[in-house]
Structure 1
Amino acid sequence: MQGEQRAHRNFVILWTLLTAVKVVIAARLPLFVDEAFYWQEGQHLAAAYSDLPGMTAWLARLGVALGGDHVLALRLPFLVIASLLPWLIAHIARRWFGGSCGWQAGSLALLMPLSATLGILAVPDVPMALAAVLCLDAGARLLREVEAGSALQLAIGLVIGALSHYRFAGVIGVGFIALMVLPQGRNVMRDPRIWIALSAGLLAWLPLLLWNSDHDEAGLRFQLVDRHPWTFQWTGFQFLLIQTLMVTPLLAWAMLRVGIAGTRTGGGIRAQWRYFGLVGGVSTVAIFALGFFSDAERISFHWPLPGYLALLVAVPVILMRWPRRWRQATWAMAVIGMLCAYGYYLAVSVPSVREQAAGEKYYPRNFAGWQPLARAVRQELAKMPPGSRVLAGNFKVGAELGFALGDANIEVLPAPLNEKHGRSAQLAQWGLLSNGERDAPRLLVLSPSDQRYRDLLERYHQVCDIVGPLPPPVRQVSTDHGYQRFLLFHLPQARAEGPCVAPAMAWVDAPLPGVRVDTPTLEVAGWAFKDGVGLRAVEILIDGRVAATAEYGGALDVRPSWPQSNDPQHPNVAFRAQVDTRGLRAGRHWLGLRLHGHDGSVEEWWEQPLDVVRP
């Protein structure tokens, strides 16, 4: 009894503290681009959407309806749901493994990094996790006795899951396999009340199926075909390593033991123990196997969470059999993992920390630069004629600006990025996919940072094909040394005609990023061009100030790499300059370019770091 009371007290303290921390993080963390699109979907209420069923959008709409257009209000329903999950895990474990194990399972759900951060972002995994846990609890109770309450809970879980994500179909499949493996489960499937619950869950998929039927199966094709290579990828091993970190190594080993126990028969192992192990084990192994063939470009580390939650229910029983020092190490690793996960989100919410990550592989671009962009857009719209509207370069810009400006109907240009994330069909359904026609001036907002550099010029030419030659940008919004960069253009109502005029392109061949400078002068060399009009000057910047004017126009033919370029100055697009470094203090500095076009445009290129070393 004392052990149970202590475990309960620890759980309540942890839940209170960590829930408060999550609320603080959710209030500070900038809106992630997917969250912004879910907000936009919530402003166009429907039964289903191109990327998801309706639940996530409905929750987002509920949040802002109750709390206004603030990131915390948008995330509040998801925070509430996530805060309930540890209690549900504790409730399930207490029923089958006793009070002490139950509260420990709830504490582990609070500490495991993957579940600890659940709810900070307004994403579909939150209601999907709730649905999975409700079905898990109902299935375990039905193995003991089939009764109406458990069947009703199963139906509710199936409905919530079907309204949350396509991936919940996998959860249903795994649950069915677990029940059919167990003799008690096969008996459960003979009861008509279970088939009524399954029928209710099946009907919940109807809005999604109807949407796909009306839109040439666009959502299904994206989720099952377009986003996945379906060829073997060695990155699957990287996925396994990430999963070990997301649950912490010793906890992962304990969950593996639960899964193995689920495959055993006899030995007095109760059906519920095997059920938790089978549900969690089959689900996790299946996702690990898919990791070698499925989408490796987008975030997917959260996919195994429903399986982990099933395994977590029985983990305290495994830990009880371990030596004390191993139990302590397991809890310590979980705490450290949780602190690292929260630390990441806190770091991302601090602009100065994001700036330090500029140029790194894991720079959090999707969180950065949206508020400065919104301020610039408001200021530029105020300068334009009445009736002028925003035209976004892709769905990310449209959704983020929509949330910031309170406008869920911002037009968006067709873009490969829209297709890549399965959002084109939805934008077209809303009538927000622009074909370039305009009945009033537009403020075009392009986001070069969202494009792979080797595809950037091609993207500029695609934009020209849609809206015509681009005028000089009226403003550039640069965040974190240009690693998040936006270009703003005033487009008149009447479309201009002629060859494509695009933003400038450039590259610094020397010095390399991060170079150590210990000489009084630094040679800077590279190339730059501007399609349609060409460049008249290139300035070298150090920490945003002009350090030298480059000699521009040297012979360097870059057209083999950029065959579509129409800069009239080709092949003379090289620049070279000598920068005096004697006035620079020792330490990190940032080298950039300012590009002056013949059309009067002035654009600043992204910056790269260099380290000045003094004797």
Structure 2
Amino acid sequence: MPDRSSSRSDAGRFALALGLLTLLRLVVAAAIPVSPDEAYYWLWAQAPAAGYYDHPFMVAAWVHIGTGLFGNTGLGIRLLGPISTAIGSYLILDAARRLGYGRGYGAAILLNATLLFGAGSVLMTPDTPLLFFWILTLWTAARIAAGGSGWWWIATGAAAGLALDSKYTAALLLAGIGLWALLTPLGRRWLLRDVRPWAGLVLALAVFLPVILWNADHHWVSFAKQGGRTADFHPARALQFLGELIGGQLGLATPIIFILCVLGLWRATAIAIATRNAAPSLLVALGLLPALVFIQHALGDRVQGNWPEILYPAAVIAAIGLPCCQRWLKPGAILGFALTLIVYVQAIASPIPMGGASDPTIRLLGGWHKLGSAAEIHARQTGAQFIAVDEYGLGSELALRLPKTIPLLADDPRWQYFNLPGPATAGLRTGATGLLIRTERRHDAPDATPWSSMRELGSISRSRNGRVGESYKLYAVTLGPSAPALLARLPSGASP
């Protein structure tokens, strides 16, 4: 008989370790400066909608919940990241057990030790809710594969629909579950004898329906933007893109864990082909299928490093089924957590000199608070009635930091798809004067259409530890007659 006291002891140690890890992640989430993309998603939460220019609405909903509890801070924006990661760890553990892969602790440890999971848990992007709902769907499907009730098909549909509400990549989740159901004896029995798998599919689409309707009302802009990634292929660069894909995953999953995951999925595929067993087949459907899609994409275009993260929940379960996993679990976890800790420290303070803007922690995170203060000072010194921007990342960061007393106007076609007011709501009319801030990375002249006059004033920069992340040109501008149709007024997130 199994030693129940030993099992309780292991469960207690795992709960303590995960609790401490989650606490660390919450501290790190509070300490890291808010990145431009995160500020952009915060801005989404200020203009609630069923869809947005770039992605579905779920990340905005998560930010709205977190900032409702902890305000417009790094912790508020990212609150649900560490919490969902902790819950997802238990779901992975339980899914591994139900699929017959031991006690599951190894799978949860490997997943938490990846840089993708560790860094992703302290940042808020659409991938954060996507990964949680992907894991939730894997867990509900594991209940079916383990002989559970047919009502788990309904839960699977709901979870998959919420994943679609997070990011369109979740279409691979529905495809994987569908192929698993069609190609395994267990799945075919359900499809032929019970209506609940089909009801689950209908529910998934119903949960996703608001996003579809929003796109229909907005010229299918979000679908077109994401679908357009497949239009520009360069097969001659396939070797380069494949090399970047593999190299990126070696780094982001960390080398030992990546190799274990690859070998685990290979072994699970061989077992699934030989036996048609539901458990390894599910891991292949949700791990290997996305991997093949990303490999195919890399034959003609670059695969962003975070995209393949969805295959790792299934892959880490497959990995712990390897005979050699116990030997490599500890060194893989130590290396993964050590690298993650280094990334945390670098993101918070950039102590390792990596050369100014070439350091992503400087380029993306450095000096935003001081830049907001400098922009406010320049606006008051020049008598500007508003501050203007023509780039969404800069605009989002300033929106998060500027007071309501200084209206922030944004010139970018994307804002026309948001529920945002125009300049008139700040009492600004033709002839009002303001300060335009524009990155020096753009070497062309600013679009003069919204302005009746424009004059260059100078420049400012943002930096961390004396290393400049980015410089900006300042322009004195005057609102022209076409400004109301072209400019949106961004909200303010600064404390009163």
TM-score bracket for this pair, using the shorter chain length = 0.7 to 0.9
Shift of 1:401: 0.7
Question: CA separation of 1:42/1:494 partners in 2, compared to 1, >3 Å: closer, same or farther?
Answer: closer
The answer on 1:78 being equivalent to 2:78 is no
Q: For the aligned residues, what is the CA RMSD?
A: 3.0
Question: CA separation of 1:143/1:83 partners in 2, compared to 1, >3 Å: closer, same or farther?
Answer: closer
Q: Paired residue for 1:173?
A: 175
What are the Cα deviations for residues 258-310 of structure 1, in whole angstroms up to 9, with x where unaligned?
323234358767421222133211222222321333345xxx21212221101
Q: Paired residue for 2:455?
A: 471
User: Conserved in 2, the CA contact under 8 Å of 1:389 and 1:442?
Assistant: yes
Shift of 1:117: 2.4
Q: Paired residue for 1:277?
A: 284
Secondary structure of the structure 1 residue equivalent to 2:473: strand
Instruction: After TM superposition, list the pairs within 5 Å mapping 1:18-33 onto structure 2.
Output: 18-33=21-36
Q: Structure 1 counterpart of 2:281, which letter?
A: R
Instruction: After TM superposition, list the pairs within 5 Å mapping 1:350-429 onto structure 2.
Output: 350=349, 353=352, 356-360=354-358, 362=360, 364-383=362-381, 385=383, 388-405=385-402, 410-414=408-412, 423=414, 425-426=416-417
Secondary structure of the structure 2 residue equivalent to 1:204: helix
User: Conserved in 2, the CA contact under 8 Å of 1:284 and 1:308?
Assistant: no
Secondary structure of the structure 1 residue equivalent to 2:79: helix
Shift of 1:238: 1.3
State TM-score, norm by structure 2.
0.85
Question: CA separation of 1:465/1:493 partners in 2, compared to 1, >3 Å: closer, same or farther?
Answer: closer
Q: Paired residue for 1:54?
A: 57
Question: CA separation of 1:291/1:335 partners in 2, compared to 1, >3 Å: closer, same or farther?
Answer: farther
Equivalent residue in structure 1 for 2:319, among 315, 319, 335: 315
Which whole-Å CA distance do the structure 2 matches of 1:378 and 1:105 have between them? 49
User: Percent of pairs identical after alignment?
Assistant: 19
The answer on 1:305 being equivalent to 2:309 is yes
User: Conserved in 2, the CA contact under 8 Å of 1:143 and 1:188?
Assistant: no
Structure 1 stretch displaced more, 21-30 or 332-341: 332-341
Secondary structure of the structure 2 residue equivalent to 1:277: helix
Instruction: After TM superposition, list the pairs within 5 Å mapping 1:207-226 onto structure 2.
Output: 207-226=210-229
Equivalent residue in structure 1 for 2:11, among 8, 13, 24: 8
State TM-score, norm by structure 1.
0.69
Instruction: After TM superposition, list the pairs within 5 Å mapping 1:4-153 onto structure 2.
Output: 4=7, 7-97=10-100, 101-145=103-147, 147-153=149-155
User: Conserved in 2, the CA contact under 8 Å of 1:11 and 1:107?
Assistant: no
The answer on 1:245 being equivalent to 2:251 is yes
Instruction: After TM superposition, list the pairs within 5 Å mapping 1:565-576 onto structure 2.
Output: none
User: Conserved in 2, the CA contact under 8 Å of 1:246 and 1:337?
Assistant: no
Instruction: After TM superposition, list the pairs within 5 Å mapping 1:418-457 onto structure 2.
Output: 423=414, 425-426=416-417, 430=420, 438=430, 440-449=432-441, 451=442, 456=443
What are the Cα deviations for residues 474-502 of structure 1, in whole angstroms up to 9, with x where unaligned?
6523425444112333334579xxxxxxx
User: Conserved in 2, the CA contact under 8 Å of 1:14 and 1:110?
Assistant: no
Q: Structure 1 counterpart of 2:420, which letter?
A: W
Q: Structure 1 counterpart of 2:399, which letter?
A: G
Q: Structure 2 counterpart of 1:211, which letter?
A: W
Q: Paired residue for 1:484?
A: 470
Which whole-Å CA distance do the structure 2 matches of 1:248 and 1:152 have between them? 35
User: Conserved in 2, the CA contact under 8 Å of 1:438 and 1:493?
Assistant: yes
Which whole-Å CA distance do the structure 1 matches of 2:191 and 2:152 have between them? 13
What are the Cα deviations for residues 218-250 of structure 1, in whole angstroms up to 9, with x where unaligned?
211210115762222322211111112222333
Higher relative contact order (CA 8 A, sep 6+): 2
Question: Structure 1 unaligned runs (5+)?
Answer: 496-615
Q: Higher helix proportion, which one?
A: 2
Count of aligned pairs between the two proteins: 467
Q: Structure 1 counterpart of 2:295, which letter?
A: F
Which whole-Å CA distance do the structure 2 matches of 1:359 and 1:40 have between them? 25
Q: Paired residue for 1:542?
A: none
Q: Paired residue for 2:348?
A: 349
Q: Paired residue for 2:300?
A: 293
Which whole-Å CA distance do the structure 1 matches of 2:94 and 2:407 have between them? 44
Question: CA separation of 1:400/1:96 partners in 2, compared to 1, >3 Å: closer, same or farther?
Answer: same
Q: Structure 2 counterpart of 1:350, which letter?
A: A
Q: Paired residue for 2:261?
A: 255
Shift of 1:71: 0.9
Q: Structure 2 counterpart of 1:489, which letter?
A: Y
User: Conserved in 1, the CA contact under 8 Å of 2:454 and 2:478?
Assistant: no
Which whole-Å CA distance do the structure 2 matches of 1:108 and 1:265 have between them? 23
What are the Cα deviations for residues 56-76 of structure 1, in whole angstroms up to 9, with x where unaligned?
101111111111111111110
Structure 1 stretch displaced more, 470-479 or 438-447: 470-479
Q: Paired residue for 2:491?
A: none
Detail structure 1 runs of 4+ shifted over 6 Å in the superposition.
Answer: 266-269
Question: CA separation of 1:409/1:490 partners in 2, compared to 1, >3 Å: closer, same or farther?
Answer: closer
Question: CA separation of 1:363/1:303 partners in 2, compared to 1, >3 Å: closer, same or farther?
Answer: same
Q: Structure 2 counterpart of 1:430, which letter?
A: L
Which whole-Å CA distance do the structure 2 matches of 1:249 and 1:393 have between them? 40
Structure 1 stretch displaced more, 326-335 or 18-27: 326-335
Question: CA separation of 1:228/1:119 partners in 2, compared to 1, >3 Å: closer, same or farther?
Answer: farther
Question: CA separation of 1:439/1:349 partners in 2, compared to 1, >3 Å: closer, same or farther?
Answer: farther
User: Conserved in 1, the CA contact under 8 Å of 2:34 and 2:365?
Assistant: yes
